[in-house]
Amino acid sequence: MTAAANRVVVAAASDEAYALPLSVMLRSAAENLGDGCGIEAYVVADGISHATRARVEQSISPRLSLNWVQRPAGEFSGLPRWGRISLGTYHKLTLGSWLPGNATKAIWLDCDTLVFEDLARLWIMEPQGKVALACRDSLVPRLGASFGVAGWKRACLNADAPYFNAGVMLIDVERWREAGVEKRSLDYLRQFGPKVWFWDQEALNAVLAGHWKSLAPSWNFPASMAGPSKEMPRIVHFSGNIKPWVFPGKGALHTAYGRYLDRTAWKGWRPAPSWKQRLLSIYIHSPLRPAMLPLERLHMRWTRWATMEFQPQKNSSR
């Protein structure tokens, strides 16, 4: 990397509940950087208290500079929300507005990721005229699949076009702004609100169809797919409900998570064991789980139906 490019820009967003995983993610990213490189991190603090911010700041490596970003309260009111997800998930869509003007490129990292690779290797990749580089999703293979883009027909999109996971992205911020990704994504969410599945991710797949390029799967590898004989991926994504700071687990990934957690201000902390956690741990490691996936997906459909919140706003300022 050249002297002008030795600061990797990382963008993320967190609320109070995700402050611990944010700290672990940032710690792992900084500790695996190559020599002569640093991270300039911009993190939206969505209701994070001053005490918790101080704890996050105590957790980070000297190789990382942390910049807290404040956003207007309630800016996403009226957008669809269901299940465990908060409206803060939509900060990803507005990064063109809150990253500094001189940020032409950024790596987006969800807080539930764990970095094992030098992010500089991702940073130096060329978008090749695309708005973003991302990995194809393991659950949703294409736009027209179940849990894909609900509005693909009305948006005249190709149902067989690939669908990406938005938890890890290398973003050309200049093209993101020029393409109006923020406004178009929010417009999509307001139009298809109660039909939306995966929140900001669905909106981005609708807006960026044909304008993103695939990364190797190891840059955003689902923890649920990691087997005992597989090598550590570049970035692990603890997507879904089974989070290592909620449910104690077994195996190399949970062990690695605990190792990085113990280098933060939460050193020594572990989720308290319970009978529910024990049963869930048995289930997720059971060879019978693949046969139960249809039931898991049926449960997700029911959860979305039972918890969907959507209040369309007739007069939007956007």
Domain-by-domain residue ranges, the chain?
7-307
pLDDT at 226: 58
pLDDT at 279: 76
Q: What is the pTM of this model?
A: 0.90
Q: What is the second-level CATH architecture of the domain 7-307?
A: Alpha-Beta Complex (3.90)
What confidence tens digit (pLDDT) does each residue in 143-160 have?
A: 988 888 898 889 889 999
Q: Which of 59-68, 72-81, 149-158, 249-258 has the highest mean pLDDT?
A: 59-68
pLDDT at 317: 43
pLDDT at 229: 46
pLDDT at 298: 79
* 3-state SS, one letter per residue, for the chain: CCHHHCEEEEEEEEEHHHHHHHHHHHHHHHHCCCCCCEEEEEEEEECCCHHHHHHHHHHCCCCEEEEEECCCCCCCCCCCECCCCCHHHHHHHHHHHHCCCCCCEEEEECCCEEECCCCHHHHCCCCCCCCEEEEECCCCCECCCCCCCCCCCCCCCCCCCECEEEEEEEEEHHHHHHCCHHHHHHHHHHHHHHHCCCHHHHHHHHHCCCCEEECCHHHCEEHHHCCCCCCCCCEEECCCCCCCCCCCCCCHHHHHHHHHHCCCCCCCCCCCCCHHHHHHHHHHCCCCHHHHHHHHHHHHHHHHHHHCECCCCCCCCC
Average pLDDT over residues 42-67: 95
pLDDT at 276: 73
Average pLDDT over residues 224-250: 76
Which of 7-11, 56-60, 162-166, 229-233 is the least confident region? 229-233
> Which residue has better confidence, 21 or 248?
21
